[in-house]
Each structure stands twice: as structure tokens, then as C-alpha cells.
Amino acid sequence: MNHTVDLHIHSLSSGHAYSTIEENARRAAEIGLKMIAITDHSFAMPGGPQWIHFAALTMLPRNLYGVEILRGIEANILDYQGGLDVEKPWIDKLDVVIASYHDLVINATNRLQHTEGMLAVMEHPFVDIIGHPGNPAFELDIPAFVKGARDHNKLIEINNSSFKGTRKGSYDNCLEIAREAVKQGVGLVLSSDAHVSVKVGQLNQSQGLIEAAGVPEELIISRSPQAFKQYLFSKGKALDLKKSS
């Protein structure tokens, strides 16, 4: 499968990423991507942008260098009761909301609490994707986690950077998550989690994993711009993009 979508990309605004939005879009065009999401860390991450950055993302053009641009965020999970570092009303105006555990923001505890926290986060209707859930630092009850995603219409990320040293030990967890997603019929997305433009679109390890897990094409919701936009439209998001679908 030729993946032309990357839904987890950081820009300079994240504080520890090293390319502009324009540089990321240019790189995406060079390698044949058709859609990217700019998903900078929210403000609980050290060095992250303030709320005004996300509120102003409507200024971003919908297309750069022939690449469709989605406006997004990687929100930080703040506690084990579903707390996120986001605010109304601007969070409802974003196209893509990823929610993730980060050890710079929240201390890991135990499998039960990590799972309960994820399930609480999934109750937020504006959350679309659960980021890098295979991180062994935040161990999950995988069947319960995947069932929560199914029940709340959330997508599960297979994060390519997790296999390159940032979250060591993620592969086996992600493989189990992918296999459980197949059993329960839960949608997955593949993403680079690029923090510099040369990493945009790097999905090889994620693609190999979903092949090993036997994930059917219809469960890969990031398989094409059209497939992902249909998911967004079903949630009442990014409706201005309907004309290009």
C-alpha cells in the first residue's frame, strides 16, 4: 500500500522540533504525500506553544505545495481522570486532536491506572487519535484499551518514531495492539511523529508492523486522504474540505 497521509508532524512551535510548517509541507510534496496534519505539542509540554497558537491555526492555508494541510494538536494527558491541556472553544475548531501520555508531563504509575486514564480521555468527543499507546512506560490493558477505542470511535496510532529509540520496547506492544484492533474492528493510523522535515512520511516500520499483524486495508483509516476525511466528516470536522473529496 502506498501511504500518502501523515497525521502526526511537529513544527518549530513544539519547542523541540526543528522545521517550519512550510518546510514540512515542502518535504511532504517532494516524497509524494497528499495530506499532512500539523500536530504540535500543547502547552503542558516544556517549551510548547500557548493556546493562541492553536486558536490561530485557521490562518493556515488548506493546501501548500499541493499537499492538503490539516490543523491539529498533540494534547498532553495531565492526569488519570481524563484531563487534557486544551481549552474551549478553540479545541473544537481543530481538525485533528491526538491525545498522548508523555513522561515529561505525567508520572507513570501502573497498568490499571494508565488504562483508566486512557478510557477517560476517550470520553472527550473532540479527541480523534490516541498517540503512541505502545509506549512500555505507560503499560495498558490492551483488550480493554482497544474496546474503549471501539466504543468511543477513536483511532489508534501506530507511531513510527516509537521503533527508532524514542520509546524503546514499543514494537511488541504495538503488534499486540494492532492484532487486537483487527479482532475488534478498530481503525488505525500510521504516522511519523516527525520533529524535523526529513522525517516526514517515514512510515516503513509502522507499515511492516501492520503487515505482520494482518491488518486489512479497510482498518487503516490513514490509507488515503479520502478515507481519513470521511472519518473527520462523520464527526462534523473539517467540513470545508468536502469540496475536495
Q: Grid coordinates representing 35?
A: 495530506
Look-up of cell digits 483508566: 116
Dist CA 224 CA 35 (whole Å): 8
CA–CA dist 14, 106 (Å, integer): 18
**Any idea what DSSP says for residue 49?**
P
Choices 3.40.605.10, 3.20.20.140, 3.40.50.2300, 1.10.3720.10: CATH for 5-237? 3.20.20.140
pLDDT at residue 165 above 80?
no
**Cβ contact 26:197 at 8 Å:** yes
Q: For residue 226, count other CB atoms closer than 10 A to its CB.
A: 12
- pLDDT (tens digit per residue) in 26-57: 999 999 999 999 999 999 999 999 999 999 99
pLDDT, one tens digit per residue, over 58-84 is 999 999 999 999 999 999 999 999 999
Backbone angles phi, psi at 70, to 5 degrees: -105, 145
pLDDT at 169: 84
pLDDT at 239 over 90: yes
Assign 245 a pLDDT band (cuts: 50, 70, 90). Answer: low
Q: Which of 85, 134, 130, 139 is nearest to 111 (CA)?
A: 139
The domain limits of the chain are: 5-237
Q: Which residues contact 208 (CB under 8 A, 6 or more apart)?
A: none
Give pTM, 2 decimals. Answer: 0.97
- pLDDT band at residue 244 under the 50/70/90 scheme: low
Mean pLDDT of 129-155: 98
Instruction: Look at residues 29, 43, 37 and name the one whose alpha carbon lies nearest to residue 6.
Output: 37
